Amino acid sequence: MLMIPSILSADVFVDWRAGYHVTYPDDWYHVPYSDVSIFLIEQNITPAEFDYDAVLARKTEGEFHSGPYIFLTFQPVGQLKDKQIDSVLKFISNEYGLSHNEEPITAPGMVFGLSRPVYDKSLNAVAVKTRVTSEFTDKYVLEMWKFYEKGIALFLCYASKEMYNDAQPIFINIFKSFSTKDLDKVAPRDSAKIVDASERTMPSSYGDDSSIPGGEKGLSESTRRALFVVLLLVIMAVLLRVFIFKKKKTVGE
């Protein structure tokens, strides 16, 4: 049995595992895990490669990925200190090849330069906009990291080139609504959904990927890059703690 995040109402989502909630517009929804599983299979992504918590998407007549959508995931590394966040910023800047700017992510009319990380100290968050292109797709990705007491909440926000300008303010508003307070108050008592873990298990294969229309090979690359960054952040945090411990021990001796 596994406790997983659940939709609470028309506009509130609580991630019980990560300990936060966000709000989203009435014309968005929490995408069923079965739909997300099929989509990931099309990208040749396995559960071992990408452990997400949920997907929020704008309601459309077609598949959820035909419009703007957000993958939510979480890394339980605890609260990072300022020096650790500085190291994270340096790493992210090196990863994208551009030094980071310090400015408000949620400022009205905010324009993100491609591959230019932005650090918002007031929100304790980092954002970077990238572009995914392939034979089947041309999308922008706004990747946003929220550092908080339990670790890192990662928002991977996707929208086609044509839809991105309209979607970006929604992405930012959802991210801005992040809160760890009063989860029990915003959630009805029956909101915690307990399900068999198999609900999120993907089959080993899904036919020939070449026969699936609209496949987005770029998604896998961007997702793996983001996960690679987060995993390295985890390693960095652990190594730093070990270093500090050894230093204290040496001083004590």
pLDDT exceeds 50 at position 75 = yes
**What does the pLDDT read at residue 18?**
93
Place of tokens 């007549």: 61
- Which DSSP state fits 7? E
pLDDT exceeds 80 at position 247 = no
**Share of residues in the chain with pLDDT > 90 (%):** 42
CATH 3.40.1000.10 holds for 2-202+214-252 = yes
pLDDT exceeds 50 at position 238 = no
Question: Beta strands 118-120 and 101-102: pairing type?
Answer: parallel
Model pLDDT for residues 152-177, shown as the tens digit of each residue: 999 999 999 999 999 999 999 999 99
Q: How far apart are CA 39 and CA 33, in angstroms?
A: 10
Of the candidate ranges 30-34, 76-80, 184-188, 193-197, the one whose mean pLDDT is the lowest = 193-197
- Answering whether pTM is above 0.75, one says no
Roughly what angle, to the nearest 10 degrees, separates helices 217-252 and 82-96? 140
**What does the pLDDT read at residue 15?**
92
**What does the pLDDT read at residue 1?**
33
Of the candidate ranges 112-116, 141-145, 245-249, the one whose mean pLDDT is the lowest = 245-249
148: tokens are 């908080």
Beta strands in 122-231 (DSSP E): 125-133, 138-148, 151-160, 193-195
What's the pLDDT band for 233 if we cut at 50, 70, 90? low
pLDDT exceeds 80 at position 253 = no
Place of tokens 């034979």: 135
Model pLDDT for residues 87-106, shown as the tens digit of each residue: 888 888 888 888 888 999 98
C-alpha angle 243-249-251 in degrees, rounded to nearest 5: 105
C-beta pairs of 234-243 under 8 Å, 24+ apart in sequence: 234/75, 234/77, 236/84, 236/87, 236/88, 236/91, 237/77, 237/78, 237/80, 237/84, 238/77, 240/83, 240/84, 240/87
**What does the pLDDT read at residue 43?**
80
